[in-house]
Amino acid sequence: GDDRRVPYEVALLPGDGIGPAVVDAALPVFEAVADRHGFTLETTVFDWGSERYHSKGTMMPDDGLDQLEGYDAILLGAVGDPSVPDHVTLNGLLIPIRKGFEQYVCKRPATLFAGIESPIQNHTDDIDFVVYRENTEGEYSDIGGREHRGTDAELAVQSAVFTRTGTERIVRQAFEAATAREGKLTSVTKSNAQAHGMVFWDDIVNEVHEEFPEVEVERLLVDAASMDLIRRPEAFDVLVASNLFGDILTDIGAVVSGGMGLAPSGNINPTMEYPSMFEPVHGSAPDIVGQEIANPIATVRSGAMLFEHLGESSAAETLRTVVENHLADAAAPRTPDLGGAASTTDVTEALEERIE
Amino acid sequence: GDDRRVPYEVALLPGDGIGPAVVDAALPVFEAVADRHGFTLETTVFDWGSERYHSKGTMMPDDGLDQLEGYDAILLGAVGDPSVPDHVTLNGLLIPIRKGFEQYVCKRPATLFAGIESPIQNHTDDIDFVVYRENTEGEYSDIGGREHRGTDAELAVQSAVFTRTGTERIVRQAFEAATAREGKLTSVTKSNAQAHGMVFWDDIVNEVHEEFPEVEVERLLVDAASMDLIRRPEAFDVLVASNLFGDILTDIGAVVSGGMGLAPSGNINPTMEYPSMFEPVHGSAPDIVGQEIANPIATVRSGAMLFEHLGESSAAETLRTVVENHLADAAAPRTPDLGGAASTTDVTEALEERIE
Ligand SMILES: CC(C)[C@H](C(=O)O)[C@@H](O)C(=O)O
Ligand SMILES: CC(C)[C@H](C(=O)O)[C@@H](O)C(=O)O
């Protein structure tokens, strides 16, 4: 359409570990799709991460968010390195972007594709749900501390904060998604043991439910939900959960639908006021760095979510179809996590060929 | 031996839902085992639970803990009823006992028995780990609240409290268990996102590790651990985790090792200052109440843990062997959760026969 912002300006944050490898490999795939759909991408690489932390003392510059603010979207590889404590790397780069850009929806689909084996018995391609994870507050609030260090009285407090604003907006997004899908929403809490924060969450779900009376709401406790994602993953459609519970549930979702090598995610600011950030769910995987065997498909699928977010729905659809056909093709190259012996770029080259 | 307290006085809290059915059915099994090993049980039933809540306004009497204090052990069925909010039932009965009697170890084994099918592909009887869950504080602390009700500024806070006392004692118990088993301990946290409470936990693990230098310590984040219990359950031996993470991990452990129908647990006060409480991991299961199909094996196995705790190790061993042989026997009766058509008491009668 006329209002297309072409070229789209995309900030690349390859980050640590296998992050650079999967971003580098996925980029030509994204360019091929853009080309086929008549738009272009203009990418800028930001070399922020643990190496920068060692040389300059911080994961990103102080004005990092200002530098990113003008971009149409952000693609992130991975953050984390064994040489730096995880709470330093993550609180220095990934989490400030999620919070600072109010990317309050962390959207993570779990889809078992034809050709992919679930570790769970008796599933073929019947798993297809999406988790709406709160992404800016809750159990990830940076509130707490430690007192009486080194004495018998020592204690640490970690406070989860749930605001009406923060809870309503993620719950509303999830109801909207449920409306657009099968009209069923599963809200996951731990209200039986956390009567302050989680009962509040339940109340907000009740209130927002009134705006979406046609949606059927199921409530599960996080322990039961974790089991049910294993026992009956096919029964779920849209789930909504707090930051921490969403984190756990989406990792379970990734593993039951074929593993971390495939799982995409979007950290989305639905108001478009700030850029959204797309990233594979997997981490920096230091154990396989430099081996050229990282599966690029999680990043490619994150790119499809990025295109969708930019309004390039047919490009997103192409990318999804290409991945689906690739995975269904027993002769197509696969990285070792999927039982193959192909390299990262073997896979992306095969995807590019399918696009052309 | 001479110092045996015979008869053992056991308080029964059948509770709600299927609780009474599984406790009633398991009791003759326990009596048969006691008889074979030369001791007796004297049981007292306390009819505390949701019915009492409706008639008298509280789940248990105000002096409930005083009434229980003199018993050698407690056997609990299940707590929870659809007619009462879960945070009311649980905070009125189960949780005050765990906290009040300083049952700071929640010990939950996950064992895949021969004859039982895991929902995870390619596992036979190779899963055998135990989770040491902190059981008195952490994310279950009753600290928090809600402010600015009904306004845009409304918020709720739920604070997790980790004390040195509370953390050291569970971590030390887990190291001791690891020493007695394979010398390997997995500590599960979320230190990358919860820099206050979880980094403290890590520090305590480091400190206590110095007392047990021969134990190998693995650290996992709760999201990765949830995946790994699905991807490589056979790789675990002893895990230690906070109250909430232990809750989630043990439910995953239950499902991968054959389901809630089999999973036992002990809420243990290792000092013996107060009675310990044993209970199946499953809940009150209102959907199957009155159908006579609740699997009693989780309760029977919890009884084996109770006997072990009382020092009746050979009775515990008999009970474990009887359950193991029963499950390995394809002709033995099974409840519907294990694919059979037997009733609760069909199973316990078969177990009794094996004891005789
Ligand atoms: C790295 C970590 C802080 C992050 C999270 O917990 O959100 C990761 O697990 C994820 O799910 O994106
Ligand atoms: C009922 C609930 C409060 C309890 C818990 O979370 O501890 C249960 O899930 C368990 O694991 O025993």
Among the candidates B195, B224, B257, a domain finishes at: B257
Q: Which of B220, B222, B248, B265 is best to mutate for the A interface (most A CBs within 10 A)?
A: B248
Q: Distance (Å, rounded) from C-alpha B137 to C-alpha A175?
A: 34
Q: Tell me, yes or no, whether A180 and A296 share the same domain.
A: no
Report the b/e string of A141-152 with b at 16+ CB within 10 A. bbebebeeeeee
Q: Tell me, yes or no, whether A156 and A69 share the same domain.
A: no
Whether residue B193 lies inside any domain: the answer is yes
Structure tokens belonging to residue B160: 């997790």
Q: What percent of chain B has pLDDT over 90?
A: 97
A302, A314 contact by CB (below 8 A): no
Whether A316 lines ligand 1, by a CB cut-off of 6 Å, is no
Our count of domains for chain B comes to 2
Shortest-distance Cα residue to atom 12 of ligand 1: A281
Whether residue B296 lies inside any domain: the answer is yes
Which CATH number goes with the domain that contains A149?
3.40.718.10
Whether residue B251 lies inside any domain: the answer is yes
Q: Tell me, yes or no, whether A210 and A326 share the same domain.
A: no
Of B74, B105, B247, B251, the one to substitute when testing ligand 2's pocket (max ligand atoms within 8 A of C-beta) is: B247
Per-residue pLDDT of chain A (356 residues; tens, 9 = 90+): 445 557 999 999 999 999 999 999 999 999 999 999 999 999 999 999 999 999 999 999 999 999 999 999 999 999 999 999 998 999 999 999 999 999 999 999 999 999 999 999 998 889 999 999 999 999 999 999 999 999 999 999 999 999 999 999 999 999 999 999 999 999 999 999 999 999 999 999 999 999 999 999 999 999 999 999 999 999 999 999 999 999 999 999 999 999 999 999 999 999 999 999 999 999 999 999 999 999 999 999 999 999 999 999 999 999 999 999 999 999 999 999 999 999 999 999 999 999 98
Q: Tell me, yes or no, whether A83 and A15 share the same domain.
A: yes
Task: State the closest ligand 2 atom to the C-alpha of B79, by its place in the atom list counted from 1.
Answer: 1
Mind listing the pLDDT tens digit for each residue in B203-224? 999 999 999 999 999 999 999 9
pLDDT for residue B2 is more than 80: no
Q: Which residues contact A355 (CB under 8 A, 6 or more apart)?
A: A29, A32, A33, A36, A318, A322
Structure tokens belonging to residue B320: 């474990």
User: What pLDDT is stored for residue A6 in this prediction?
Assistant: 75
CB of A124 less than 8 A from some CB of B: no
Whether A139 lines ligand 1, by a CB cut-off of 6 Å, is no
Q: Which domain holds residue A297?
A: 1-103+263-356
Among the candidates B199, B233, B257, a domain finishes at: B257
Whether residue A174 lies inside any domain: the answer is yes
Question: Ligand 2 mean position to B195 CA, how many Å?
Answer: 25
Q: Tell me, yes or no, whether A140 and A206 share the same domain.
A: yes
Of the candidates B144, B194, B249, B286, the one whose C-alpha atom is nearest the C-alpha of residue A199 is B144
Report the b/e string of A260-271 with b at 16+ CB within 10 A. bbbbbbbbbbbe
The residues facing A44 across adjacent strands are A11
Q: Tell me, yes or no, whether A268 and A249 share the same domain.
A: no
Q: Which of A120, A187, A194 is best to mutate for the B interface (most B CBs within 10 A)?
A: A194
Whether A193 lines ligand 2, by a CB cut-off of 6 Å, is yes
Count chain A–chain B contacts defined by CB atoms under 8 A: 204
Whether A223 lines ligand 2, by a CB cut-off of 6 Å, is yes
Q: In what order do the strands lie in the sheet with A41-45?
A: A41-45, A8-15, A73-78, A276-280, A264-268, A105-111, A128-134, A238-241, A184-189, A216-221
Q: DSSP alpha helices (H): ranges in chain A?
A: 19-36, 50-56, 64-69, 86-92, 94-100, 164-180, 197-209, 222-231, 243-256, 297-310, 313-328, 344-355
- Rounded to a whole number, what is the distance in Å from the CA of B344 to chain A's nearest CA? 22
Scanning A33-92 for CB atoms below 8 A from B yields 80, 85-87, 89-91
Whether residue A38 lies inside any domain: the answer is yes
DSSP string, A46-71: ---SHHHHHHHSSSS-TTHHHHHHTS
User: What pLDDT is stored for residue B1 in this prediction?
Assistant: 42
User: What pLDDT is stored for residue B4 in this prediction?
Assistant: 55
Of B93, B94, B250, B251, the one to substitute when testing ligand 2's pocket (max ligand atoms within 8 A of C-beta) is: B94
Which of A95, A158, A199 shows the shortest C-beta gap to B196? A158
Mind listing the pLDDT tens digit for each residue in B77-126? 999 999 999 989 999 999 999 999 999 999 999 999 999 999 999 988 89
Whether residue A356 lies inside any domain: the answer is yes
Mind listing the pLDDT tens digit for each residue in B131-185? 999 999 999 999 999 999 999 999 999 999 999 999 999 999 999 999 999 999 9
Contact A255 B163 (CB under 8 A): no
Nearest chain B residue to A204 by CA distance is: B150
Task: State the closest ligand 2 atom to the C-alpha of B243, by its place in the atom list counted from 1.
Answer: 7
Q: Tell me, yes or no, whether A195 and A274 share the same domain.
A: no
Q: Tell me, yes or no, whether B196 and B163 share the same domain.
A: yes
Q: Distance (Å, rounded) from C-alpha A132 to C-alpha A249?
A: 10
A208, A132 contact by CB (below 8 A): no
Q: Distance (Å, rounded) from C-alpha A288 to C-alpha A344?
A: 12
- Rounded to a whole number, what is the distance in Å from the CA of B191 to chain A's nearest CA? 6
Q: How many angstroms from the chain centroid is the CA of residue B131?
A: 10
Which of A153, A196, A256 shows the shortest C-beta gap to B146? A196
**DSSP H/E element including B97:** helix B94-100
A90, A140 contact by CB (below 8 A): no
Q: Tell me, yes or no, whether B240 and B269 share the same domain.
A: no
User: What value does the CA radius of gyration of chain A take, rounded to a whole number of Å?
Assistant: 20
Whether residue A112 lies inside any domain: the answer is no
Q: Which amino acid is at B181?
A: R
Contact A86 B119 (CB under 8 A): no
Of A222, A223, A227, the one to substitute when testing ligand 2's pocket (max ligand atoms within 8 A of C-beta) is: A223
Nearest chain A residue to B154 by CA distance is: A164
Q: In what order do the strands lie in the sheet with A155-163?
A: A144-147, A155-163, B155-163, B144-147
- Ligand with smallest separation from the Cα of A285: 1
Whether residue A66 lies inside any domain: the answer is yes
Q: Tell me, yes or no, whether A250 and A135 share the same domain.
A: yes
Whether A90 lines ligand 1, by a CB cut-off of 6 Å, is yes
Q: Tell me, yes or no, whether B276 and B163 share the same domain.
A: no
User: What pLDDT is stored for residue B285 in this prediction?
Assistant: 96
How is residue B212 annotated by DSSP?
-
Among the candidates A257, A280, A310, a domain finishes at: A257
Q: Which of A223, A231, A257 is best to mutate for the B interface (most B CBs within 10 A)?
A: A223
Q: Distance (Å, rounded) from C-alpha B37 to C-alpha B159?
A: 47
User: What pLDDT is stored for residue A2 in this prediction?
Assistant: 45
Mind listing the pLDDT tens digit for each residue in B21-55? 999 999 999 999 999 999 999 999 999 999 999 99
All residues of chain A having their beta carbon less than 8 Å from the beta carbon of residue B156 are 161-162, 196-197, 199-201
User: What pLDDT is stored for residue B6 in this prediction?
Assistant: 75
Q: Distance (Å, rounded) from C-alpha B144 to C-alpha B146?
A: 7
Q: Tell me, yes or no, whether B122 and B249 share the same domain.
A: yes
Contact A158 B193 (CB under 8 A): no
Task: State the closest ligand 1 atom to the C-alpha of A251, by its place in the atom list counted from 1.
Answer: 11
Whether B90 lines ligand 2, by a CB cut-off of 6 Å, is yes
Q: Distance (Å, rounded) from C-alpha B82 to C-alpha B50?
A: 9
User: What pLDDT is stored for residue A120 in this prediction?
Assistant: 96
Scanning B166-225 for CB atoms below 8 A from A yields 190-201, 221-224
All residues of chain A having their beta carbon less than 8 Å from the beta carbon of residue B162 are 155-158
The pTM assigned to this predicted structure is 0.97
- Rounded to a whole number, what is the distance in Å from the CA of B67 to chain A's nearest CA? 24
User: What pLDDT is stored for residue B171 in this prediction?
Assistant: 98
User: What pLDDT is stored for residue A165 in this prediction?
Assistant: 97
User: What pLDDT is stored for residue A5 in this prediction?
Assistant: 59
Q: Distance (Å, rounded) from C-alpha A149 to C-alpha B200?
A: 10
